[in-house]
Structure 1
Amino acid sequence: MNILLCCCAGMSTSLLVSKMKRSAAEQKLDHTIWAVPIDAVSREITKADVLLLGPQVRYMFNEFKELGDKKGVPVTVIDTVQYGKMNGHEVLRTAEQLYNDK
């Protein structure tokens, strides 16, 4: 599965991506996980199976949801608590659930 994360500049989310990759590796899951800033989502979404938005860009949800609907890519906002904890395992589970529910 290809998991795209969106944030403002990519700094805090890059740490979350690392933790998600570690969790996927521990579970022997073959996922590609990467983060981009807001202005890169429109070109990166075509490579993604799901799009997760950092809580700091939740105001973009409606716009990215519309884009995701056009591309067949489900979109959600990462839980603020899990994001704050940098809980890669739980955020990975969120992405998998989103993918499985589409």
Structure 2
Amino acid sequence: MKNIVLFCAAGMSTSLLVKKMEKAAEQEGFECKIAAHSLNELKTYGPDADIVLLGPQVRYNLDKVKTELPEKLVVVIDMKQYGMMDGKGVLEMVHKTLGE
């Protein structure tokens, strides 16, 4: 089971995207745990993630997050997919990034 963790400024807007991603994962039979948190909780939830996704509003933290979690895959969510709350599209990007 993959652990996908999304981070944004407060964890609120990303939680909406999580719901869409969970629905897409369920439809395709992809076993995963998806959660959204504030970037302030990076040290708490980042280490257990298989992939870390950053909301576009915090993309300026990409290098900092990569430094904090050097062993993790860290990707910024596409602004268009984020704006449209395209859970299926973001999940497809996760599959590609994980090499699945």
CA displacement at 1:11 relative to structure 2: 1.3
1:24 counterpart residue number: 25
> Secondary structure of 1:29's match?
coil
2:53 counterpart residue number: 52
Question: Deviation above 6 Å: which 4+ runs of structure 1?
Answer: none
Unaligned runs of 5+ in 1: none
Q: TM-score, normalised by structure 1?
A: 0.92
Q: Report how many aligned residue pairs link the two structures.
A: 99
CA displacement at 1:67 relative to structure 2: 2.0
Unaligned runs of 5+ in 2: none
Q: Is the 2:47–2:69 contact (alpha carbons within 8 Å) kept by the matching residues of 1?
A: no
Q: TM-score, normalised by structure 2?
A: 0.94
Structure 2 Cα separation of the partners of residues 37 and 25 of structure 1: 25
- After superposition, residues 78-97 of structure 1 pair within 5 angstroms as 78-97=77-96
| Structure with a larger share of its residues in helix | 1
* CA-atom RMSD in angstroms: 1.2
Sequence identity percentage: 40
